[in-house]
Amino acid sequence: MRFTLIKDIKQDKMMKPILSGLLIFILLYLISDIFVKSANFGISIDTLNTTLFGNEDEYIDPITTAVLLEFWHSEIFFSMMILLTLSTIFIRVVNSYKVRLFFLNTLMLAAILSLISLPLAYFLNAFFVHIYLYSFFIWHIAAIYIALHSTFKLYND
């Protein structure tokens, strides 16, 4: 993470294309993640409830504990990597303290909330599905904005 130490990241001719490439891939990941969740897990209350708790009318079994834990495990890891990388770049390229404070806190809190609410929904109370869904979209939208803003800031002062 050498770019955390470079004095002015925008003036470094090597780091700019490297970070641009990384930000583009992160953007693609965030967008693809929404499509994958839509197809395999659900991005609405009904589909999420069906995935987690099953649907007797449609003869759909609920997700098993092992599969959920595996899914949750990989979500934690990939979310952590995205959050770490995005926030490190964002802090370096955006000068405004208030903008950094607002977006990074929104991103981190929404992401952590979505990760915590998923097992709570499965093991405790189905109400947490609502919290998972809203926090999932908030952190994805915040992350997409941060990635776009950082890419713009890399090439413009």
Partner 1 sequence: MLSGIMIFEHKIGFSVQNIANYYLGDAAQFINAKTYSGVLKTILPHIISFALFSMVLLHFLIFTKHRNKTNIKVLIFVMYMSAFVEIFSPMLILFGYEIFTYFKLLSFGLFMGTVFYTLWLLFRSIMNK
Any idea which residue has 């470094």 for tokens?
Answer: 12
Of 6 and 124, the one with the shorter C-beta distance to partner 1 is: 6
Instruction: Please report whether residue 17 would count as binding partner 1 according to CB under 8 A.
Output: yes
Report 34-53 residues binding partner 1 (CB under 8 A).
Answer: 35-36, 39-40
Report 89-128 residues binding partner 1 (CB under 8 A).
Answer: none
Round to whole Å and give the CA distance between 74 and 76.
5
- What is the 8-class DSSP label of residue 3? G
Instruction: Please report whether residue 2 would count as binding partner 1 according to CB under 8 A.
Output: yes
Residue 146's nearest CA partner among 81, 102, 109, 80 is 102
Among 8, 11, 13, 95, which residue sits at the site for partner 1 (rule: CB under 8 A)?
Answer: 13
Of 13 and 98, the one with the shorter C-beta distance to partner 1 is: 13
Backbone angles phi, psi at 96, to 5 degrees: -70, 120
Q: Within 13 Å, how many C-alpha atoms sit on residue 41's CB side?
A: 16
Of 8-16, 59-67, 108-116, 127-135, which part binds partner 1 (CB under 8 A)? 8-16
Question: What is the amino acid identity at position 43?
Answer: I
CB of 15 to partner 1, least distance (A): 7
Are 30 and 147 in contact, with CB atoms under 8 Å apart?
A: yes
Instruction: Please report whether residue 74 would count as binding partner 1 according to CB under 8 A.
Output: yes
**Cα dihedral sign, 34-41-58-55:** negative
Which spans of this chain sit near partner 1 (rule: CB under 8 A)? 1-3, 6, 12-15, 17-19, 21-22, 24-26, 28-29, 32-33, 35-36, 39-40, 74, 78, 81-82, 85
